[in-house]
Chain A
């Protein structure tokens, strides 16, 4: 079955540490890729998206993600996290032939210790 996998369910980091969250998907065709963030008690917000072109995309708040087609991966990175980055992060995929539907990964809870 087509799916999106986020391997890290919980991540704990200290402030200023570097972050990398993994995301792999199993769709064979062309896809649009997204990372969403959900701060405690808030709605999902789009961090960044990849449709085509440069596989390294930059988003808001210093986040970036790299699309590696051969590995079916779209990992999220941030060089130096802050306490305010504490949130849950979701990778999502929209296959090009699936209308506007999003399939989400299971999410990764990030806790940043001050």
Chain B
């Protein structure tokens, strides 16, 4: 157990819908990262938040957005869902967010299936 929790574990929805994935970082960690793992794209970095502010952006679609709340948990919002959005979405957390590398600890993931 890494200490990073994600809910829900599984999510099944239809095309065009909107979902919210939730992540709680390890106690004391200020950074949260979101990754998408799909069969065709592999494991891709989406976005990073540090202490409530966006710190880095990767291959995140405009239909996707994220935020980090004052209690440091984060939510990833996926809208206008397409079949290709079906994937495993991982959250990771670290103590810091830049400068010397801070080890990331990964959560168990949320498996999203879009039908």
Identify the A interface with B (CB < 8 A): 32, 36, 42-46, 49, 51, 90, 94, 98-107
Q: In the complex the two chains form, what is the Cα distance from A99 to B43 in whole Å?
A: 18
Is B109 interfacial (CB-CB < 8 Å)? yes
Q: In the complex the two chains form, what is the Cα distance from A43 to B108 in whole Å?
A: 4
Q: In the complex the two chains form, what is the Cα distance from A103 to B101 in whole Å?
A: 13
Count B interface residues, CB 8 Å. Answer: 27
Is B53 interfacial (CB-CB < 8 Å)? no
Q: Judge whether A43 and B90 touch: CB under 8 Å.
A: yes
Is B70 interfacial (CB-CB < 8 Å)? no
Given contacts A43-B90, A44-B90, A106-B42, contact A101 B109 (CB under 8 A): no
Q: Judge whether A100 and B101 touch: CB under 8 Å.
A: yes
Which residue from A94, A99, A104 sits with its C-beta under 8 Å from B44? A104
Q: Judge whether A100 and B42 touch: CB under 8 Å.
A: no
Which residue from B42, B55, B92 sits with its C-beta under 8 Å from A105? B42
Question: Which residue of the partner chain B has the closest CB to A49?
Answer: B103
Identify the B interface with A (CB < 8 A): 2, 4, 31, 33, 35, 42-45, 48, 55-56, 58, 90, 92, 94, 96-98, 101-104, 106-109
Q: Judge whether B108 and A102 touch: CB under 8 Å.
A: no
Question: Which residue of the partner chain B has the closest CB to A98?
Answer: B56
Extra contacts, 15 of them, besides A44-B92, A100-B94, A100-B96 (Cβ < 8 A), are: A43-B4, A44-B90, A44-B106, A45-B2, A99-B56, A100-B31, A100-B102, A100-B104, A101-B33, A101-B56, A103-B45, A104-B35, A104-B42, A104-B43, A107-B43
